[in-house]
Structure 1
Amino acid sequence: MILSLLSLHVKGPEYFDNRVAALAVAVCSFMVALPESTHLMTKRIAFGQLVIVYVSTVIHGAQRGVVMHPIPVASSTALGAIASVLAMLLPYPRLAYYETRQFYRLYTENAAERLNCTLEAITASDNSTALGFSNQAKSLSIVGAKLRRRIRSNLDGMQWERPQTRFCNPRSIDLEEKLQDLETPIRGMDIALSSCTSFPVSVIDEKLRGVLLNCRGKFSQKLDQKARCFAPFDAKTTAESKKEIFNRNLTIADKDLPTSFFLYCVQLLLDDLLLAKKTEHIVEKTQKTRMIREFVTSFMPSKHNLVFAFKCSLSLGLAMLFGLTYNKENGYWSGLTIAISFVTGRQPTFSAANARGQGTAMGSIYGVICCFIFKRFGDLRFLSLLPWVVFSSFLRHSRMYGQAGGISAVIGALLILGRKHYGPPTEFAVARIAEATIGLICFILVEILSQPSRAPTLAKSELSKSLRTLQDCVGSIPTTIPSQRDIPSSSSQALREGQHRLKARVCRLEEFTAEAKLEPNFWFRPFHSGCYTKMLESLSTMVDLLIFVAYSMEQVTRLSQKDGVCRVDFQDRVKDNIELFKNRIGIRLKCLEAIIRMKSIRKLVNDLKIKNLPCDVESGEYANAEAYTTLSGNDEVDGITGSFLQLLEELANKTQFNKDEEMLKDQLLLHYSCMGFCINRLMRETLKIESEVKELVIWENGSIEVNFKEIYCKISTLCSR
């Protein structure tokens, strides 16, 4: 409102025509969108206010004073805000804090059911029973993921309702960490369960089966108390079960890694250990850095925000110009259609515009029909909005229309049924649909100009970056035990930071993949969603495994500082196994990253010919052909795992002299078995990714056979020259 008052005072309402109004909207929208700290909802409201004020100025001109143009808009906005607050409070308050507690309670119930299913599956007496419980756990995990998203979406509201928690006790409502620490062991149990090849599991005897099944009630009680009071459960109630699982785990650690890892995760849940928690000095340093960065960036707009401001400015300016040119009286709707729907990140442009267009048309037609039905009872036609609001709520959560289509459908009906003295409803509906189409066309054109890269292209680029980050994570796995003075700067912290970067990359890859699935292909090659979905599953599994690797390495480092622990010989052999794993996986990931970055095999061959380089690997002119090695398959994975199992067996049979030394050895055995399982699964997931990359290369190049060694040698030779 301040911006509109200033511009109207400087220029004068009588001088506002289509071009001046479009320019004013563009400039003011840019200034509104530029601040980093302003909430997106605030910006959307400001965009809508600017559109209404300037269109009203063009229509009425000097008939109203400078102040009289913004006042009705500000008053309507205030009434809308009051209505929103009343809607939140009636018929009962729906505050973010209470909704979060409710969703957290539902999530803990979901987690308890998942735990019951996984425990039933691991102790099943046949394959069909295990498969049934496993599938049930997978369906429950999908529901759990939705509940976690609902919880995260309410965290901002909790801070708004209880702002004192930001300053007095900022970690009191930090549910992100609580959810992560509860979810990670459960996902680890799912990973272990998927690694079991047949049921019943041979190493699970009747006594261990009874212990695991007895844990179901204790887990349910524990999670129920978490849901009620947001507090950790008293570990004393589970001490007996923890001791039995610990003892059983020791006997099978060197015989069956998946079952041992499953019991390892059960014990983590019983202990309430914080797997994802950083050390205090890292947390403090990160918080200080974040506060300084936020203070600096509050004065300097980022590149991302500049692009967002440019998009909003150009879209609204063009929509205003063409909308007023087409129909001055209804010029509001071309700008308002897109003003309330801007997002700061990427979105499926064509799909979102299509959903908004269809929602606008459906809502307008519904409004016209209701106006005809309630022609004689005009004051009662608002009642017809109630069933439409209910129906539109289903549209908002549908896959076809989503939030954009659902909101457009509600607004389309509301504008028809909520206005008076504007002429026949049919004419207004047609005019508004036409204006909305103009606005959506401007929105699509600006989106294409500002973000010309297609979602499939970005997904492929992000996949390459994800593999590069994964390669860095594997390379940062420590192989030596640091000395006492090196513990604060342990390399396991570097692995944790790399895991966080990888998780962010995988989330971005998931966003691009979802967008690519929704967008039309036009004349481009269809997006191979199946390959990307499977690679996302493997990458997500590897993200979870790296958390356990970092945690187990931290525990091994801590235990190895104590006296009496078997050191040199055993640790050197573990180091050799980890180094072998890192070398094999590192080369494989580097190869896959280079192949994914390749545009096409045909272009690669043409580039080699242009530079007079050999195209045949068998010619012997490739210096790096002999250095290239790959995973030979499951046999090599089993070989590395078998070597690790042999080391665990030697450690288990190692004779100690006192009780303390024996306890240290047992704890080392647990953490080394966790590491062995994670290494095994990381290699197998890499093989799955390799298989999907090969299928993707065949899909993109139309080749029958793909030789990764030949392609990688050509790429590396071309880069070296």
Structure 2
Amino acid sequence: MASPAPKRGSISTMLSASRHYAGLHLPEIHPEFRSDMTQLSKVSRPRMQTIWGMKVEWALRTSFAAALTATYAVHPEVQSADWDHATVFAPVLAIACVSGPNLGATLHHAWQMWTATVIGCFASMVVNETLRPVQPAWLRELLTCFLFLLTVFFLCSRPWALVQKRVSVGVMLCGTIPMSVSGHEKEWWFPWTTGTPCTVGLLASVLAMLLPVPHFAYRELRRRLAHQAATQRQVLQCQYHSVASASRAQHVAAAHLLEGFRDNLAAMRGLLSAAQHELFLCPRRYGRLKRSVTFFETQLTALRSLQVTAQSNTGINSATHVKFQKVTDSSWRASLKAVADAVNEVVTAEAEQPFDENLASELEAAQKALDDDVANARAEIVYPQGSLYNEDEHNADHFVEHINRMASYFALNELIVACVKMCKLPAAVHPPARRRLLQTAGRVRRWLSMPSLAMAKEAFKKTLSLGVLSIFAWIPEMREGRPEFMWGFIAACFVFSDNEGSSINTGIGRIVGTLFGGMVGLIALNCLSQLNVQHYETGGLVVYVIVCVSWTTFCSLMRSSPRHGYTATVAGFSIYIMVVGKLESFGQKTAHDVVLHRIQEQFIGASVYILVEMLLWRRSAREKVNDEQLSILRAIQTSFKTAVAPHLAFIAKQESKVGSLIETAKAERAGNQAVETAKSGLVAASSEPTFWSKSFPFSQYQRLLHSEEKALRLTHTLAAATRDAAIEEIDEMVPTLVASYSAAASKSLEAVIKKMEQWEAMGNSLCEICRFTVDSGAHAHGTLDLESTLPESEVIAAALALFDLQNADGLLRIGASKHFERFVATHKPTSNSYALSVNAMLFCLLNFTATMVELGDRLRVVQATERAVLHA
């Protein structure tokens, strides 16, 4: 009976196909390789906390801080003091400050809020005491309003965090406007009646992170580093198997692991800033953690390059590939183990201990062994006619297979180089006290400097919104009968945002959260009054605290939501605003009046600021996303032009090496930052009102960003390849190919950016891209005159025909014999790196063109959708 056929696409099918095709056997994938890589680490893979576990811990710690501050806020002695309804700030800031289940993040936010509170109190004292002796009263109030708004403009135009602007202005108005309303009859220390509850709330939030067991960010960072090391070992395993067995399943598995690798790396960057506050007195430990995170950051680009280049090897099953793989298999595995050794050293060494000096030498030895094996394999497999190829293989694009294969070895070589550089870096040294003092002085000087025009416009909008709300402070009915008008100011302060979409998101979240919190507060107050619970008794106060903390616990479980987290936070502390407000009225107002008035004021304050944001100097999140699109495309263009500049101008590489490295690094950072900024702006852009029939094309922008990320990765790999490829060592036909492809791609990028700037003409961008590419590339191949034109219906077909890999194979095959004979005959230690660089460069050029066509197509779809929305 015949054995069942293996499934299509399985590893066994690919192996059988290659053996049948070539009569050879692929190198055996050693079963102990996976176990060796898994057991290589001295520490086991850490058990990461689940998402639900993080939510529960966050909620419990928030509830503990809320319980402490609620007990303070409802205490009879605190209620009887002349705090002018400011005790509620204690639970509000305590809940808002517990910004994550670790101590470092809470310390960071507590420090920001406390400095803003102190500055707001001092600013209020300056305004109050400066105008106290002014007479008559109406002039003093008028000058108070003017000086108050001028101080608001000053605080909002400072280059500090948005939360600091919100808190400082909120604290200042709570100390200034009631003083003006009272005719300056209050004491000079009155602003601290707001600053003291704020300080109590911040201290409670820090205490909640310390008890019962502190959750340190640096410990979580160490666990994530070990998790990152385990993930990287799995990525290396999957990439090795994808190349060795031509398995697309292993390649897809490596791609999924790399996405988790990137997400965990982003989380570690956030934890690093939190760990800096925890390890303020231990700079060496923080320096080691920062260096470890940098170690993984430097490898991410090389791992992505290896993933991109390995993708083209998953379908290679020719006899030449099998023989090449067998020669280099042992050195490939040894190189992966050497990299894993370095990763293991990063996550297991002590804080003050430097990297092992032997690691760099071991990595360099593994790299040299891999280079020798690649050089020997290349010398044995010669490409001219009459070599080891039969007729079928000779006509099967074997040179393209060689390009793909050699590009993979180049990416692995770059990974080893990145590891060697990090192992050789000296230990981080903490800056001396003098330098830190100068840095602090520089930050203070920047804080006191004149604002830019953009910052002045944003500060003016915030000042104008509070100026409109200041009218309520001079209406007798509001001043005497509804002291809740202050919450309109506070709502406007805490809706301050950087663009229209964020303001709408924050305003809606605040209104909805206040509504839910107010409803629950009203129900609780009515139920407790029906049960005859007296707020002036100890038992009654305990019941109030239990009800409020229970609601806060429920809301805190939803705080991690990126879209509704702010709404849950506002709902969690709004119940304290209602309940404590009812207790502060001492029976003068019903619960219904307190809840209704405070909800109304919150709605008025948020609505006023949103209207000002929408009507005056609009800063649309959509425009920001489009601006970041231009930044990404310019970063791609800069990286590409910098990489191919020596080959275009035929100048010596040494003359522009340093400058090109700096420009490439800047373009890489600018491109990655623009991508992250565009991703963060998509949610805000989708919330902006369109007043049209269609919404923001969120999914189309996501696909466009995906294509742009691929283009950035290819340009980074191309820059690394051209950095090591000496022009004098490249075959004389290669610069012609580089020049033709680079000119075509540069013109394509120029067309994309030009059409991005010309909104109405964006619909034909893909045709322009293809036309520029076809004309330039075909002229380089001698297949088309530059004066001739192609019908639009044939543009895409011509582009696909032009960028078919057989054309590149035919051009490069002209000098193949001379090209490889030179490398076989030479014994220079760097000759193999030149060969790897040349092939990696050609691989990037071939794939970059296809990526740019895809990018242009998705960009056309996005702009066509936006134009349809505009004219709907």
| TM score, norm. by length of structure 2 | 0.65
Equivalent in the alignment of 1:715: none
The structure-2 alpha-carbon separation of the partners of 1:443 and 1:214, relative to structure 1 and needing over 3 Å to count, comes to farther
Q: Is the 8 A contact 1:455 1:515 kept in 2?
A: yes
Mapped partners of 1:22, 1:648: distance in 2? 81
SS at match of 1:331: helix
Mapped partners of 2:491, 2:419: distance in 1? 49
Mapped partners of 2:704, 2:442: distance in 1? 34
Equivalent in the alignment of 2:639: 473
Q: By how many angstroms is 1:343 displaced? A: 4.3
Given candidates 131, 137, 149, the residue that maps to 2:266 is: 149
Mapped partners of 1:505, 1:139: distance in 2? 23
Equivalent in the alignment of 2:401: 255
The structure-2 alpha-carbon separation of the partners of 1:97 and 1:256, relative to structure 1 and needing over 3 Å to count, comes to same
Q: By how many angstroms is 1:585 displaced? A: 0.7
Mapped partners of 2:139, 2:233: distance in 1? 64
Q: By how many angstroms is 1:597 displaced? A: 2.3
Q: By how many angstroms is 1:222 displaced? A: 3.9
SS at match of 1:541: helix
Moved more, 235-244 or 572-581: 235-244
Equivalent in the alignment of 2:704: 535
Q: Is the 8 A contact 1:311 1:446 kept in 2?
A: yes
The structure-2 alpha-carbon separation of the partners of 1:206 and 1:378, relative to structure 1 and needing over 3 Å to count, comes to farther
Given candidates 38, 62, 69, the residue that maps to 2:190 is: 69
Equivalent in the alignment of 1:46: 168
SS at match of 1:633: helix
Equivalent in the alignment of 1:516: 685
Unaligned residue ranges in structure 1 (runs of 5+): 281-286, 561-566, 605-623, 704-721
Equivalent in the alignment of 2:809: 642
Moved more, 165-174 or 379-388: 165-174
The structure-2 alpha-carbon separation of the partners of 1:236 and 1:146, relative to structure 1 and needing over 3 Å to count, comes to same
Given candidates 331, 336, 349, the residue that maps to 2:490 is: 336
Equivalent in the alignment of 1:12: 132
Question: 1:175-194 counterparts in 2 under 5 A?
Answer: 177-194=294-311
Q: By how many angstroms is 1:16 displaced? A: 9.3
Q: By how many angstroms is 1:589 displaced? A: 1.7
Q: By how many angstroms is 1:72 displaced? A: 1.1
Given candidates 836, 846, 861, the residue that maps to 1:695 is: 861
Q: By how many angstroms is 1:685 displaced? A: 0.9
Q: By how many angstroms is 1:669 displaced? A: 0.7
Q: By how many angstroms is 1:91 displaced? A: 2.4
Mapped partners of 1:294, 1:677: distance in 2? 46
SS at match of 2:414: helix
Moved more, 544-553 or 693-702: 693-702
Q: Could you tell me the percent identity over the aligned residues?
A: 16
The structure-2 alpha-carbon separation of the partners of 1:91 and 1:236, relative to structure 1 and needing over 3 Å to count, comes to farther
The structure-2 alpha-carbon separation of the partners of 1:387 and 1:700, relative to structure 1 and needing over 3 Å to count, comes to same
Given candidates 378, 398, 403, the residue that maps to 2:541 is: 378
Equivalent in the alignment of 2:507: 353
Mapped partners of 2:866, 2:165: distance in 1? 42
RMSD: 4.3
Equivalent in the alignment of 2:737: 577
Equivalent in the alignment of 2:596: 430
Equivalent in the alignment of 1:26: 149
Q: Is the 8 A contact 1:651 1:669 kept in 2?
A: no
Q: By how many angstroms is 1:143 displaced? A: 3.8
The structure-2 alpha-carbon separation of the partners of 1:212 and 1:488, relative to structure 1 and needing over 3 Å to count, comes to closer
Given candidates 398, 401, 411, the residue that maps to 2:573 is: 411
Is 2:736 the counterpart of 1:600?
no
Question: 1:42-121 counterparts in 2 under 5 A?
Answer: 42-58=164-180, 60-65=182-187, 67-121=188-242
Q: By how many angstroms is 1:435 displaced? A: 1.0
Mapped partners of 1:239, 1:476: distance in 2? 29
Q: Is the 8 A contact 2:177 2:473 kept in 1?
A: no
Equivalent in the alignment of 2:453: 303
Q: Is the 8 A contact 1:492 1:553 kept in 2?
A: no
Q: By how many angstroms is 1:181 displaced? A: 0.3
Q: Is the 8 A contact 1:371 1:425 kept in 2?
A: yes
Amino acid paired to 2:413: Q
Equivalent in the alignment of 2:346: 226
Mapped partners of 1:273, 1:498: distance in 2? 22
Given candidates 522, 539, 559, the residue that maps to 1:396 is: 559
How many residue pairs align between the two structures? 657
Mapped partners of 1:194, 1:360: distance in 2? 52
Q: By how many angstroms is 1:584 displaced? A: 0.7
Mapped partners of 1:42, 1:219: distance in 2? 44
Amino acid paired to 1:7: V
SS at match of 1:395: coil
Given candidates 522, 530, 544, the residue that maps to 1:368 is: 522
Q: By how many angstroms is 1:89 displaced? A: 2.3
Equivalent in the alignment of 1:551: 720
Question: 1:673-684 counterparts in 2 under 5 A?
Answer: 673-684=839-850
Amino acid paired to 2:297: Q
Q: By how many angstroms is 1:581 displaced? A: 1.1
Equivalent in the alignment of 2:414: 268
Moved more, 425-434 or 453-462: 453-462
Q: By how many angstroms is 1:99 displaced? A: 4.1
The structure-2 alpha-carbon separation of the partners of 1:94 and 1:340, relative to structure 1 and needing over 3 Å to count, comes to farther
Amino acid paired to 1:664: T
Equivalent in the alignment of 1:587: 747
Q: Is the 8 A contact 2:525 2:579 kept in 1?
A: yes
Mapped partners of 2:303, 2:720: distance in 1? 16
Question: 1:616-627 counterparts in 2 under 5 A?
Answer: none
Mapped partners of 1:167, 1:123: distance in 2? 42
The structure-2 alpha-carbon separation of the partners of 1:74 and 1:513, relative to structure 1 and needing over 3 Å to count, comes to closer
SS at match of 1:348: helix
Q: Is the 8 A contact 2:517 2:575 kept in 1?
A: yes
